[in-house]
Copies of this chain bind each other. A is one copy, B any other.
């Protein structure tokens, strides 16, 4: 298995697949020799290279774990070196644009592409933050198309199930509509709230000095790498803008009630949201016990 991009997700997958015995050898590829050295020291990968084409050559499973906006360029750089019948997959948070670019590119060189999005992660980044347990009990969405090779699809499913994920399949468009609203828009809101408050003062008091746990939790994901989220916002632009509109409408309704001092309606709206949020619970789904997954290769 070649993992192009040994960051939080790529590094965690590499380590998890090795631990679970799903792969024989993992070649890690990245731009930063320091990060690759960290990945080797942490035994996430067996071998390292800074050349994507070299990493991909001979691999029968290639995982692209680079920012969404870089996927197509990296795929183009490795295409000519892919082994016949190689399976290429990705971990991008946007699927429509990635699948549209990579599926035909892989098909042209006799490789099979399967779009995937493991819904796991944090605001941390780099191989130093990688955690082979990151995926356990979380959802992974695969977005096959009518032309996706069924054996390749099964292989990618086995990889993610093997590291503990609950795998399901849906169309890329449905994935992008969902993730825009539960992930991409919340990230942009967290950046915006941080931008609105950071550096501002009330008199001589710096606002951020008074931030409590509520502000910290609400903005935690604004510590995520800016380049990743710039790419995601642009690659999923129509759905992100639609999700932002829906959020704006919900916020406008609340602002209007505050402005009009309509306490009865305001409490009704807040209480409805409160009930839904309480029902969602505080923790991510319980992590199931580790199980021995099938060997992917």
Residue positions of A touching B, CB distance < 8 A: 69, 119-122, 138-139, 141, 170, 174, 177-179, 181-183, 185-200, 202-203, 205, 207-208, 210-227, 229-231, 233-234, 237, 240-241, 243-244, 246-247, 249-251, 253-255, 258-259, 261, 263, 266-267, 269-274, 276-278, 280-284
Contacts and interface: CB of A to CB of B under 8 A. Distances in A.
A269 B276 CA distance: 32
A194 B277 contact: yes
A181 B215 CA distance: 9
A172 to B, nearest CB: 12
Given A222-B274, A274-B191, A139 B250 contact: no
Given A119-B212, A182-B212, A250-B195, A202 B217 contact: no
A274 to B, nearest CB: 5
A186 B193 contact: yes
A280 B186 contact: no
Contacts of A211: 182, 280
Contacts of A141: 210
Contacts of A186: 193, 214-215, 218-219
Nearest to A213: B284
A119 B214 CA distance: 10
Contact of A182 (B190, B215, B243): B215
B212 A241 contact: no
Tally of this chain's copies: 2
B170 A205 contact: yes
Contacts of A276: 194-195, 198-199, 208
10 contacts: A119-B212, A138-B212, A182-B197, A188-B254, A192-B254, A208-B280, A219-B277, A222-B277, A229-B270, A230-B267
Contact of A266 (B122, B233, B254, B280): B233
Contacts of A215: 182-183, 186
A237 B262 CA distance: 12
A169 B208 CA distance: 17
Contact of A217 (B200, B220, B261, B273): B220
Contacts of A191: 254, 269-270, 273-274
Contacts of A218: 186, 189-190, 217-221
Residue picked from A187, A251, A282, most chain B C-beta under 10 Å: A251
Contacts of A243: 196
A277 B230 contact: no
Residue picked from A217, A227, A277, A282, most chain B C-beta under 10 Å: A277
